[in-house]
Amino acid sequence: MATTPSRRERMRAQTIAEIKAHALAQVSEGGTAALSLNAIAKAMGVSGPALYRYYASREALLEELVRDGYRELAGALVAADDGAARRAPAGRLGAVAAAYRAWALAHPHRYAMLFGPRPAGYADPPEAIAEIQAGMEILLAALGELAGSAADAGRDRLSRQLRDWIAARGGPVELPARVLRLGVLTWTRLHGIVSLELAGALGDMGLDGGLLVDAEVRAVVAAARGGDE
């Protein structure tokens, strides 16, 4: 039976939510380099030491923001996959790719926080990586179905790196290296299109990012079915 949070717990949750709201506003204005606990404390009308009771450092706060962002992005991808559950693998892949782009366009500053430059020495904690893993596994599952018997084992250096990568994250290690490679390539292609669109480059060229995403999905589907990658 769930217990009702105490008043102290509710107040703490409210304070953390306020801290995060100010932090995201800082990130929106100046990127992760602008993140400052002291500035947040000033905006909230509290002392710096008071804020450090919630986050020991700006890096700790950034870690939580990144973890939240990965969780929300992965949630959008999972929801898209669930909504396309009755479609063929190619259709599910297209739905997930469209959801990825939609989330990025709806949250451009948070997307930049997740995949843009980070403060020197910062690395995503395992908890954050675990949050986004669900999104990658959706891509890999669709690609695995598309590839079928066309998937090969792969024995080159990149294949070994891909197997090490998926094993380190507790993913589906039984997938062929070719499927893992296509999964990473799919993400890098989506990221490239979305990043250029957010930067305004595609608009300057008169190109529709959605159409480019659709074209890349078709190319990935063809590659998974045995065409050139």
Please say if the pLDDT value at position 220 is more than 90.
yes
Residues 49, 68 share a domain: no
Q: Which residue has the tokens 């589906």?
A: 172
Torsion from C-alpha of 22, 26, 29, 34, nearest 10 degrees: 170
The identity of residue 218, as a single letter, is R
| 45 and 141 fall within a common domain | no
pLDDT at site 228? 56
Residue 149, in any domain of the structure = yes
pLDDT tens digits along 94-132: 999 999 999 999 999 999 999 987 777 778 888 888 889
Task: Count how many domains the chain has.
Answer: 2
pLDDT at 204: 97
Q: Residue 159: what pLDDT?
A: 86
Which CATH number is 171's domain given? 1.10.357.10
The reported pLDDT for the residue numbered 2 is 58
- Both 70 and 155 in a single domain? yes
Residue 130 within any structural domain of the chain: yes
User: At 136, which amino acid appears?
Assistant: M
Q: Would 152 be classed as within a structural domain? A: yes
Domain limit, last residue, from 15, 37, 56:
56
Q: Is residue 33 part of a domain?
A: yes
Measured CA to CA, the distance from residue 203 to residue 205 in angstroms comes to 5
Residues 3, 89 within the same domain: no
Looking at the structure, do residues 131 and 153 belong to the same domain, yes or no?
yes
Q: What is the pLDDT of residue 151?
A: 56
Whether residues 215 and 154 fall in one domain: yes
In a domain, residue 98? The reply is yes
Q: Which domain holds residue 38?
A: 1-56
13-69 residue pLDDT tens: 899 999 999 999 998 888 888 889 999 999 999 888 888 889 998 889 999 999 999
Q: Whole-model pTM? A: 0.88
pLDDT at 192: 96
Q: 117 and 15 in one domain?
A: no
Q: How far apart are the C-alpha atoms of 144 and 85, rounded to whole Å? A: 15
Residues 176 and 207 grouped into a single domain? yes
**Same structural domain for residues 10 and 81?**
no
Handedness of CA 182, 228, 176, 161 (dihedral sign): negative
34 and 88 part of one domain? no
How do residues 147-187 score in pLDDT, each as one tens digit? Answer: 876 556 567 888 889 888 888 887 777 788 888 999 999 99
pLDDT of 184 reads: 93
Shared domain for 40 and 135, answered yes or no, is: no
In a domain, 229, yes or no: no
Closest CA to 40 of 51, 55, 28: 51
Which tokens is 127 given? 């908890």
The pLDDT, as a whole number, for residue 152 is 63
